[in-house]
Chains A and B, each alone.
Chain A
Amino acid sequence: MNTLTVPASGATAPSRSRRRGDLATDAVVVVAVVAVLVVGLSTDRFVSYANLKAILTSASLVGIAALGLTLIMVGGAAVSLAISQTVAASGMVFLSAQSLGLVPALVLAVVCGAVVTGLQGAVVGFAAANPVVLTIAASFAITGVATGLTGGTSVSPSGTGYDVLNATPGGVPLCVFVLLALTAVVEWVLRRTGFGRSLYLGGENRRAARAAGLPVGRTTTVAWLGAGSLFAVTAAFTAAFNTAANVNLGGTLTFDAIAAVLAGGTPISGGRGSAVRTLAGAVLIAAVSDILLLRGYSTGVQIMVKGVIVLLVVVLVHLRSKGRAS
């Protein structure tokens, strides 16, 4: 599958060792998942349909936003530190537009997220601006504008259409289905489209991609537009669940999403990673938190273990890719 990421480089040796390196990191993820499963199976009440639903539900909102962040990270733009704020703003738009109906409100929220994030992507893509500082600036701007417009109060829904998003077809929350569907879509876009291929190459080596005539600026902008749309989907579900939205709607989502992407084994430097990995990362973190919860550990311990998982995966992925390079 990774031949796609190295368009006609001519040399077979690097692509073969690359495949081996990726297989190794995949193996690590598999081992981690198996280890979690073993501990999980020995945990009382872990293996039950209700618990599986609980894990998937808690992974879904973070997971959808993390899919968006995956696009940004694959493109080599490091991270966005404005995810929580973008989600808060899109959620506010979504709820205040409820009087127009569910679909128009959803479209408006997605447009809001896409435009706000896409603008940042254009500056990163065309001018190579530092994404960390830029997204910090954006987070101030978004919160500032949102607070200014609302006077710092919560936005209440102007209609009831949003409740459709809280549906649980077959007993499983709608957002779980949406997460799985969006994972498939993002994976397909990354693997099977010209956009996906140039995103990987631009993330791997910006200068080489530019020298090869790839539209790096445009590709980055499109990736961020997609990311913003996915943040808005998370926003709509979060806002529908809370039935109110203020500037704190996003909570700790920025760091949760980064943790999910990193735990999936996607390196922060770009050029590698996939939507399926991110899904695995989000589910891994949710499953571990669930096991700790069932075993009676406090929220603090759950957060701490999440940090340790991310640290371990970052170190392992780095070691594997270094072994590949030498």
Chain B
Amino acid sequence: MTSHPLGRPAVLLPLTAFGVTLVAFVLVPTYSDATIGSFDVYNTLQIFARLGPLALALGLTMIAGEFDLSVVGTYALGGMLTVQLGQEHVAHGVLAAVGAGAAIGLAQGCLIAGLRLPSMPVTLATYIALLGLTSALSGGLTKTYANVDVILWVDQTVLTWFSPRSLITLALFALAALVLAATRWGRELRAIGGDRRASRVAGVAVGPLLVGTFVASGVIAGLGGSLLSLSLGSANPDPGVQPLILAAAAALLGGVSLAGGRGSAVGLLGGILAVALLAEIATVTALPAYVTQLFYAGLLGIIVVVDAPDLHSALVRLRADLGPGNARVPAHPARNPHV
């Protein structure tokens, strides 16, 4: 659209969101009694580690023009499998979570790509089924994880600001950034999100690419759930819808378009860091939760309205309607271009 890179929403949105929240974070001592220390940076990155995998998993499918609602289901299942199978060896639990994520992604990807199904109803059904499965595995109860060494390890402070958990999440983003920016896979992912028909004609293997994206989404979500339950020392069968909504907000703030074809891993990182900073600011300043919610509502509302394809023509039509002598041309059934 615009020639200058800063004018593009994929760059502008995450940059603005991250910039504004970072300034607000640094300036916290000027407008409240709270102070900011290295612990708050650590905490922000812990929130990032909690929601980052979900935002990345959802964001990848959104770039491909799909919408994977099931990420929260995979997230819950991954956490539960880790706790139940990883009591002896933590690796078994993490592998089970990642394997389950891959299997779920493979099944969904094959259905969606093979039958050309819309992803929203399929992943919604999977989301419901996975929450049920997780609840059935645990009898509806929160399960605790007894391996204290692991719990202490994942959240120990590394380099003042980080923990192994946030470093792993950052590594996931770095890997995604590398793949999206430097490989053919990344370019083709944006291509099938932008114009699937054209990319198919141009020789892109749309099916395998979609399956791969859903597998990646499942693996990332499963690993995210696994890391979360190791950090909490427990797994909750129902994470609620808040994580999904925050992840979607982060992806949109990260410059990913719901129409597909637009977005980058670095943008997603900016979006989720903005969400994490906002959550930490709210915690530090003891801001009521509803203020943050209204803030998100306003932000998303602006994004969606500015992004609306018919906004301009609607305004033009509205002006025309309000003007004098502008009766609508009545519909003519025979000319109905219904196909």
Bound complex: CA A254 to CA B125 (Å): 13
Closest to B249 in A: A136
Q: How far is the CA of A79 from the CA of B127 in the complex (A)?
A: 16
Whether A130 pairs with B338 at a CB distance below 8 angstroms is no
| Interface of chain A: mostly helix, strand, loop or mixed | helix
Scan residues 275-327 of chain B and give those whose CB is less than 8 A from a CB of chain A. Answer: 288-294, 296-301, 303-305, 307-311, 314, 318
Task: For B332, list chain A residues within 8 Å (CB).
Answer: 212-213
Given A128-B308, A137-B304, A143:B336 Cβ within 8 A = no
Whole-angstrom distance between the Cβ of B303 and the nearest chain A Cβ: 7
B248 contacts partner chain A, Cβ-Cβ < 8 Å: yes
Give every chain B residue within 8 A of A42 (Cβ-Cβ).
Answer: none
Chain B residue, CB-CB nearest to A307: B129
Instruction: Establish whether residues B309 and A300, one from each chain, have CB atoms under 8 Å apart when the complex forms.
Output: no
Of B47-55, B83-91, B135-143, B154-162, which stretch is located at the interface? B135-143
Would A319 and B115 be within 8 Å (CB), given that A208-B338, A300-B136 are in contact? yes
Separation of A14 and B337 alpha carbons in the complex (Å):
14
Q: Which of A217, A300, A319 contacts B139 (CB 8 A)?
A: A300
CA separation between A319 and B125, bound complex, in Å? 17
Assess the B310–A127 pair: CB atoms within 8 A.
yes
Q: Does A141 contact B (CB under 8 A)?
A: yes
Which residues of B sit under 8 angstroms from A6, Cβ to Cβ?
338
- Chain A contacts with B in 111-157, Cβ cutoff 8 A: 123, 126-130, 132-134, 136-141, 143-148, 152
B191 at the interface (CB under 8 A from A): no
Q: Are the C-beta atoms of A208 and B336 separated by less than 8 Å?
A: yes
Q: Which residues of A contact B122 (CB under 8 A)?
A: 311, 314-315
Cβ contacts A208-237/B at 8 Å (1 or 0 each)? 100111110100000000000000000000
Residue from A133, A145, A204 with most neighbouring chain B CB atoms (10 Å): A133
Q: Pick the contact of B111 from A129, A217, A310, A315 — CB < 8 Å? A: A315
In the complex, whether B7 has a CB less than 8 A from a CB of chain A is no
How many interface residues does chain B have, given as a range? Answer: 35 or more
- Of residues 154 through 188 on chain A, the ones whose CB sits less than 8 Å from some CB of chain B are none
Task: Say whether B307 contacts A129, CB under 8 Å.
Answer: yes
Tell me if A138 and B314 are in contact (CB < 8 A).
no
Q: Does B205 contact A (CB under 8 A)?
A: no
Tell which of B258, B290, B300, B309 has the most Cβ of chain A within 10 Å: B290
Q: How far is the CB of A159 from chain B (nearest CB, A)?
A: 27
**B121 interfacial by beta-carbon distance below 8 Å:** yes
A9 interface hit (Cβ, 8 Å)? yes
Complex CA gap A209/B300 in Å reads: 29
Residues of chain A within 8 A (CB-CB) of B289 are: 147, 152
B252 within 8 A of A: yes
Whether B245 contacts A140 by the Cβ 8 Å rule is: yes
Complex: how many Å from CA A126 to CA B294? 24
Q: Does B5 contact A (CB under 8 A)?
A: no
* Known interface pairs A130-B304, A208-B338, A298-B140; A141-B297 also in contact (CB < 8 Å): yes
CA distance A217 to B332 in the complex (A): 19
B52 to chain A, nearest CB (A): 19
Whole-angstrom CA separation of A301 from B309 in the bound complex: 42
Q: How far is the CA of A70 from the CA of B332 in the complex (A)?
A: 28
Residue B28 lies at the interface, judged by CB distance under 8 Å to chain A: no
B248, closest chain A residue (CB): A136
For the complex, is A243 an interface residue (Cβ under 8 Å from B)?
no
**Residues of B114-142 contacting chain A, CB below 8 A:** 115-118, 120-122, 124-140
A96 at the binding interface (Cβ < 8 Å): no
Interface: B259 (CB within 8 A): yes
Residue in B117, B129, B140, B293 whose beta carbon sits within 8 Å of that of A141 in the complex: B293
- B118's contact among A81, A147, A217, A269, by CB below 8 Å, is which? A269
29 CB contacts below 8 A, A to B, read A6-B338, A126-B310, A127-B309, A128-B311, A130-B307, A133-B304, A140-B294, A141-B301, A205-B339, A208-B338, A213-B330, A214-B331, A255-B127, A255-B241, A259-B128, A262-B124, A298-B135, A298-B139, A300-B137, A303-B135, A305-B132, A306-B128, A307-B131, A311-B126, A314-B121, A314-B122, A315-B111, A318-B115, A318-B117
State the A residues within 8 Å of B (CB). Answer: 6-10, 78-79, 81, 123, 126-130, 132-134, 136-141, 143-148, 152, 201, 204-205, 208, 211-215, 217, 254-255, 258-259, 262, 267-269, 298-308, 310-311, 314-315, 318-319, 322
B: residues with CB less than 8 A from A are 67, 111, 115-118, 120-122, 124-140, 237, 241, 245, 248-249, 252, 258-259, 288-294, 296-301, 303-305, 307-311, 314, 318, 328-339
Given A132-B248, A314-B125: 15 more A-B contacts, CB < 8 Å: A127-B309, A128-B310, A132-B67, A137-B299, A141-B294, A141-B297, A141-B301, A147-B288, A212-B332, A255-B241, A259-B128, A262-B124, A268-B120, A299-B135, A319-B115
**Top 8 closest A-B pairs, CB basis?**
A307-B129, A304-B132, A300-B135, A300-B136, A303-B132, A307-B128, A137-B300, A141-B297
